[in-house]
Amino acid sequence: MKRRDILTGAGALAMAGCAGEQSATGPAGTAETFEWKMVTTWPPGFPGMQTGVMRMVEQIEKASGGRLKIKIYAGGELVPPLEVFDAVSRGSVEMGHGAAYYWKGKTEAAQYFTTIPFGMTVLEMNGWLYYGGGLELYRELYADFNLVPFPAGNTGVQMGGWFNREINSIEDLKGLRMRIPGIGGEALARAGGAPVTLPASEVFTSLQTGVIDASEWVGPYNDQVLGLQETARYYYYPGWHEPGPTLECIVNKEAFASLPEDLRTIIELATTALNESMMAEYTARNADSLAALQDNPDIDIRRFPDEVLDELRRYVDEIIAELVARDPRAAKIDASFQAYRTKVARWTEISEKAFLNTRR
């Protein structure tokens, strides 16, 4: 019932009520306050992701009556963008925000908690995480790294990326240097391409100068902010590699345990609120930005050929099978993920998908 309240929006109301119903001294009359640091993988002020984190932190401070204050450092301001996981794990900072597939070098199983290519949409991912056992597996995995994870944002189905060449067959991916992380990057490698992991701050320059030949980032909203429409002509869809990418807020385990119960609850409510509101923002802003790109004569928006998608799906299946065979933790998570995906797909087929197929 607690999670059901969160997911139906009662979480936001509860946060608003926290500040009104208790004084800054807290429910137990204690005047104890906490000042934390938070690092992210996103550039300063980056729309949607970094601004979403800023909104969440503001809500936490208000809901706590000022008892929990969090100072945010964008990627590179305190630690490099791709070192957020380590900084929070060792306790250099108390909180972080990023995407679990960035940490595949720590544990490959983490990738399941961002997205699996050809996997689940945002609605399906949230169903698995909150009601299908996914969150319990998520926290079990991260406990080994002294972390407590929370789903904290989603961008929805992404675009396939920007390319400086046409993709008409799987052969066109050979030799392609592309910014693409996670299992999607491994699939590209099996197709003969060269995947590269880069933070947002380096994507534009790398594509503009020819260090890479292609890049996926998110979708029209963020891609326009980065200026990627100025670096390549061909903009492909769908985002086979990231159908429902969940972002995460990670909290140092000891720091989280040091908080009184009401502040721990406020963090849970605030991260869940961000998980919902960010998706709403991306739905609205992607629509606005796509219209502008469609009106740009220098941009060619195309669908990936079925042949290319079929081959990439085959590579992904191979990669997952090999991962499960060598990593018991991944095998346990995969069993839950795949079972839920199979079950929820039957509902998605006759609900969301069936309806969208009727719409003109």
Task: Report the mean per-residue pLDDT for the chain.
Answer: 93
What's the mean pLDDT in 92-97? 98
In words, the CATH class of domain 2-156+243-283 is: alpha beta
Do 3 and 130 contact (CB within 8 A), yes or no? Answer: yes
Whether residue 22 is predicted with pLDDT greater than 50 in this model: the reply is no
Percent of the chain with pLDDT over 90: 90
CA distance 360 to 352: 14
Residue 10 confidence (pLDDT) above 90: no
Which residue, 282, 277, 342, is CA-closest to 9? 277
Domain boundaries in the chain?
2-156+243-283, 161-241+300-326
- Do the domains 2-156+243-283 and 161-241+300-326 sit in the same CATH topology, yes or no? yes
pLDDT, position 130: 98
Asked if residue 23 has pLDDT above 80, the reply is no
| Close Cβ partners of 234 (under 8 Å, ≥ 6 residues apart) | 162, 163, 164, 165, 166, 167, 300, 302
pLDDT at 31: 72
pLDDT at 268: 98
Per-residue pLDDT, 360: 81
pLDDT band of 5, cuts 50, 70, 90: very low
pTM of the model: 0.90
pLDDT in tens, 135-170: 999 999 999 999 999 999 999 999 999 999 999 999
Q: What is the pLDDT of residue 200?
A: 87
pLDDT tens string 190-238: 999 999 988 888 999 999 999 999 999 999 999 999 999 999 999 999 9
161-241+300-326: CATH topology: D-Maltodextrin-Binding Protein; domain 2 (3.40.190)
Q: What one-character-per-residue DSSP string does 165-219 give?
A: S---SGGGGTT-EEE--HHHHHHHHHTT-EEE---HHHHHHHHHTTS-SEE--S-
* pLDDT reported for residue 30: 58
SS3 at position 299:
coil
Average pLDDT over residues 340-348: 98
pLDDT-derived band at 3 (thresholds 50, 70, 90) equals very low
Read off the pLDDT of residues 276-333 as tens digits, 9 standing for 90 and up.
999 999 999 999 999 999 999 999 999 999 999 999 999 999 999 999 999 999 999 9
114-141 tens-digit pLDDT: 999 999 999 999 999 999 999 999 999 9
Q: CA gyration radius for the chain?
A: 21
- When pLDDT is cut at 50, 70 and 90, the band that residue 7 belongs to is very low
- pLDDT band at residue 13 under the 50/70/90 scheme: very low
How much is the average pLDDT of 33-50? Answer: 97
**Per-residue pLDDT, 15:** 47
Q: Render the burial of 159-193: b for 16+ CB within 10 Å, e for the rest.
A: bbbbbeeebeebebbeebbbbbbbbbbbbbbebeb
